[in-house]
Homo-oligomer: A and B are copies of this chain.
């Protein structure tokens, strides 16, 4: 399909000619040519001090603002960078976005952010929309749908994929292997002495990365000969579910159980539920999460979790992209940067230790 049709019921909106102040106006007022103004704006030192001053003065007086739209069209590259994330609400992506934006903005790039809501169809549409703004680069989360590859390949701009490694990268891939997260966690809880395992993931039917973490967890333990209870929460109703969850769990001190959650929010809810029920964590039950929220180190007991590097992902993506944009080059070989993750062992899985000890 082509582009979407939108109603064009915007009759008024002033006449054709907006009364916007243009570069020509500024040039006329400053008694220089438009080219000189343009040049001044891009590189002030290339203009004689006298005229520079005049131009600056009129800009100040008139409150002139350059029209980037026209500039972008005129053949300079567009200083906009498109970013598509699955969710704006997710704290991980927010951190990455913030980090990216700091760097991009410092170099004069504007971010066009969209969220796909974990929906592949939406993502493809968004790709089209983004491309229609002819961005200088595009940042995607994970893999794009195969159908979208040709479109992206034709765009001729650097494309970064973040938060997940694997598949066929375009130009740059920055992230980590989510299966390894699951495996690392499995290895840890096994080493601690837990012998009954429950993995609770939310929205795993759409959040493929959460799914991969679960898979990695199960794979490691299956190989050891254990069965894992996997509980998939359909939506964000952490809520009732946590009480239900604890009802389903059979605690047995001879075969200590651990609950691994696909994010720290769930894990912390579980911690509270344990408090409510008087279940001792980590001795009667282990609990672990993913994400290392600011809160997680201050919970009681403090939460064992896995910490990705959302800010670094953003920083690296931004830096690389800017290099390619400004040199006008595209890497011949796709670049893959594995940032890994950190398993943060805290009290909530410290089965072998004295869990009562206050942290210092």
Contact = CB atoms under 8 A, between A and B. Distances in A.
Interface of A: 1-14, 16-20, 40-44, 55-56, 59-60, 63-70, 72-73, 75-80, 87-89, 91, 94-95, 97-98, 101, 105, 107-108, 110-115, 126, 128-134, 150-151, 154, 156, 236, 238-239, 242, 265, 268-269, 272-273, 275-276, 294-295, 297-300, 325-329, 358
A10 B328 contact: yes
A298 B87 CA distance: 23
A3 B114 contact: no
A303 to B, nearest CB: 10
B272 A298 contact: yes
Contact of A276 (B2, B154, B300, B325): B300
A88 B77 contact: no
Given A65-B3, A110-B112, A115-B98, A13 B328 contact: yes
Given A2-B40, A8-B43, A9-B326, 12 more contacts: A1-B59, A10-B326, A16-B75, A65-B132, A68-B132, A88-B98, A105-B114, A110-B112, A112-B112, A236-B294, A268-B295, A272-B298
A161 B14 CA distance: 24
Contacts of A79: 6
Contact of A154 (B8, B63, B239, B297): B63
B12 A328 contact: yes
A274 to B, nearest CB: 9
Of A1, A107, A295, A298, most buried by chain B (CB within 10 Å of CB) is: A298
A94 B88 contact: yes
Contacts of A77: 10, 13
A77 B36 CA distance: 28
Contacts of A265: 294-295
A132 B80 CA distance: 12
Nearest to A275: B300
Oligomer copy total: 2
A325 B132 contact: no
14 contacts: A2-B66, A3-B41, A3-B66, A4-B108, A11-B328, A14-B156, A63-B151, A65-B131, A69-B72, A73-B73, A89-B94, A111-B114, A239-B297, A272-B299
A2 B66 CA distance: 9
Contacts of A72: 69
Nearest to A40: B2
Given A13-B77, A65-B128, A132-B66, A238 B294 contact: yes
A185 to B, nearest CB: 21
Contacts of A70: 73
Contacts of A60: 1-2
Contacts of A89: 91, 94-95, 98
Contact of A42 (B8, B66, B112, B269): B8
Nearest to A46: B5
B328 A14 contact: yes
A11 B265 CA distance: 48
Contacts of A126: 105
Contacts of A16: 75
A4 B68 CA distance: 12
Contacts of A59: 1-2
